[in-house]
């Protein structure tokens, strides 16, 4: 793709609209995709966003922003629970579709353009925004869908009715370790799950995702061909779509960090990392939503302290759910002086890319998993909910770049896991080697004729043909 493609000789760049779901793990990949479309292909971008977790336009002067009324009741917004917010937002948008259509219509032609300007080529939505897809359809605006999870996760969603028919779901405690031969290497416990939303709500959200995907004009998945070759091949057979592209890891395709972090990233940790030996530091973060109780928090703290290894630990404000302010245990700070740093929110991509970081204890959110893979950093997996169990399964079983820390969080187990990964033993060393092999595959998919780079070029051509 060379620069701006201008339909019919019109010199103005074509516009693409993007609408992420307003949660960190969904905003980041969409903004990276927008960055790649803008910087690499010269497309103009309008970002649609909600008041709930609103983005800051000042941090993205290269994009236009249009607010779409989200209708999320204050009580639901206050819980911050993703499934509740998704359902409430879709319900409100479907109850007053004219509000969404109005916002879309104004975004299709930017303010400084006249009626004659080329209309937006298409709208890229998060797969959770079925209500927005329906509104766009009424305006004749084609939608493409960005899946921010893995290809394996989407296959699991498509199989959800079958998983119920065959009795794998809802979960039964006695069957948790039973394999699901239709979705290898997953076991029942690895299927999509949540501890806080009802099973019916999860089923509804997944049914809406698959409907959005089946209705779209093209699907972009934040993964890459060499990471999930079988899953992508099967998906292409299972979905009859005009276009299905693996264009990730998207954070590696846009030239700069997105500036779309909802929390301030504490860059002082980079200076601290500069003082640590190469490969010595364990980075510990459980993403933007996962939580633990104060008992578990204390066990994590002492497990890290007792391991003797340097660590950088993200304790975000609502990480500990049964207290307002998480208290590190007495004596912890003295015990880890000089080799432990605790911050509220990290510039995670820069941290993982830092030469001092040799391991990542993660909740296995898909973005965190891809970011770790992209830097060749092996993982301790502590999946909590949603797709994290299946991501952890792939990390351990398929790619061999980490292992799951299962069972109750207990300081001795934590210490053992840290030593296993970071202590120089054979198992940890092999995971580190395999992570480096995978990192090279990421580099290959991003170079000149690499699969993800080619996917972005195909995507731009396709968008401009719509």
Contacts with ligand UDP by CB under 6 A lie at: 24-25, 28, 261, 265, 285, 287-290, 314, 345-346, 348-349, 365-368, 371
- In the bound state with ligand UDP, the residue whose beta carbon lies nearer, of 272 and 345, is 345
- In the bound state with ligand UDP, the residue whose beta carbon lies nearer, of 90 and 367, is 367
- In the bound state with ligand UDP, the residue whose beta carbon lies nearer, of 28 and 231, is 28
Task: Name the minimum Å distance from CB 457 to ligand UDP.
Answer: 24
Task: Name the minimum Å distance from CB 231 to ligand UDP.
Answer: 18
CA distance 362 to 383: 8
- In the bound state with ligand UDP, the residue whose beta carbon lies nearer, of 153 and 241, is 153
What residues have CB less than 8 Å from 214, skipping those under 6 apart?
239, 241
Catalytic residues: 26, 126
Task: Name the minimum Å distance from CB 11 to ligand UDP.
Answer: 36
Task: Name the minimum Å distance from CB 350 to ligand UDP.
Answer: 9
Task: Name the minimum Å distance from CB 364 to ligand UDP.
Answer: 8
- In the bound state with ligand UDP, the residue whose beta carbon lies nearer, of 125 and 241, is 125
Task: Name the minimum Å distance from CB 135 to ligand UDP.
Answer: 25
What residues have CB less than 8 Å from 239, skipping those under 6 apart?
158, 213, 214, 219
Task: Name the minimum Å distance from CB 365 to ligand UDP.
Answer: 2
CA distance 327 to 320: 9
- In the bound state with ligand UDP, the residue whose beta carbon lies nearer, of 93 and 386, is 386
- In the bound state with ligand UDP, the residue whose beta carbon lies nearer, of 168 and 368, is 368
- In the bound state with ligand UDP, the residue whose beta carbon lies nearer, of 290 and 442, is 290
SS (H, E, C) the chain: CCCCCCHHHCCCCCEEEEECCCCHHHHHHHHHHHHHHHHHHCCEEEEEECCCCCCCHHHCCCCEEEECCCCCCHHHHHHCCHHHHHHHHHHHHHHCHHHHHHHHHHHHCCCCCCCCCCCCCEEEEECCCHHHHHHHHHCCCCEEEEECCCHHHHHHHHCHHHHHHCCCCCCCHHHCCCECCCCCCCEHHHCCECCCCCHHHHHHHHHHHHHHHHHCCCEEECCCCCCCHHHHHHHHHHCCCCCEEECCCHHHCCCCCCCCCCCCCCCHHHHHHHCCCCCCEEEEECCCCCCECHHHHHHHHHHHHHHCCCEEEECCCCCECCCCCCCCCCCHHHHCCCCEEEECCCCHHHHHHCCCEEEEEECCCHHHHHHHHHHCCCEEECCCCECHHHHHHHHHHHCCCEEECCCCCCHHHHHHHHHHHHCCCHHHHHHHHHHHHHHHHHHHHHCCCCHHHHHHHHHHHHHHHC
Task: Name the minimum Å distance from CB 287 to ligand UDP.
Answer: 3
């Amino acid at each position: 793709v060379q620069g701006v493609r201008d339909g019919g000789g019109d010199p103005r760049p074509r516009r693409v609209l993007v609408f992420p779901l307003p949660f960190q793990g969904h905003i980041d990949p969409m903004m990276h995709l927008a960055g790649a479309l803008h910087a690499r292909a010269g497309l103009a971008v309008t970002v649609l966003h909600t008041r709930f977790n609103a983005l800051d336009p000042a941090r993205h002067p290269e994009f236009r922003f249009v607010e779409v009324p989200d209708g999320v009741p204050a009580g639901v917004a206050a819980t911050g629970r993703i499934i509740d917010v998704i359902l409430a937002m879709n319900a409100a948008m479907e109850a007053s579709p004219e509000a969404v259509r109005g916002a879309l219509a104004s975004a299709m032609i930017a303010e400084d353009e006249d009626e004659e300007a080329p209309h937006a080529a298409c709208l890229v939505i998060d797969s959770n925004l079925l209500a927005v897809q329906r509104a766009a359809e009424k305006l004749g605006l084609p939608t493409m869908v960005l899946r921010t999870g893995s290809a394996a996760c989407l296959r699991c969603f498509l199989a959800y009715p079958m998983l119920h028919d065959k009795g794998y779901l809802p979960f039964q405690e006695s069957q948790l370790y039973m394999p699901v031969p239709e979705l290898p290497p997953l076991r029942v416990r690895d299927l999509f799950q949540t501890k806080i939303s009802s099973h019916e709500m999860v089923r509804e959200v997944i049914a809406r995702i698959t409907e959005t995907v089946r209705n779209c004009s093209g699907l972009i998945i934040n993964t890459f061909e060499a990471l999930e070759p079988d899953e992508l091949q099967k998906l292409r057979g299972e979905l009859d779509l005009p276009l299905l592209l693996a264009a990730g890891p998207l954070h590696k395709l846009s030239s700069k960090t997105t500036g779309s972090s909802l929390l301030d990233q504490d860059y002082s940790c980079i200076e601290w990392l500069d003082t640590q030996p190469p490969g010595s530091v364990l980075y510990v973060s459980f993403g933007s939503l996962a939580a633990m109780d104060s008992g578990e928090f204390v066990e994590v703290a002492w497990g890290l302290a007792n391991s003797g290894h340097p660590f950088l630990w993200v304790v975000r404000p609502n990480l500990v759910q049964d207290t307002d302010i998480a208290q590190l245990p007495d004596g912890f700070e003295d015990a880890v002086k000089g080799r432990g740093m605790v911050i509220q929110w990290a510039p995670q991509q820069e941290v993982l890319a830092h030469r001092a970081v040799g391991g990542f204890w993660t909740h296995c959110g898909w973005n965190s998993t891809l970011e770790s893979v992209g830097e060749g950093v092996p993982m301790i997996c502590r999946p909590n909910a949603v797709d994290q169990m299946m991501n952890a399964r792939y990390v351990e079983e398929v790619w061999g770049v980490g292992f799951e820390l299962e069972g109750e969080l207990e300081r001795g187990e934590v210490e053992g896991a840290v030593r296993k990964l970071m202590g120089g033993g054979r198992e940890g060393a092999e995971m580190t080697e395999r992570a480096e092999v995978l990192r090279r595959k990421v580099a290959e998919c991003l170079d000149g004729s690499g699969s993800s780079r080619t996917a972005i070029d195909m995507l731009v051509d396709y968008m401009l043909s719509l």
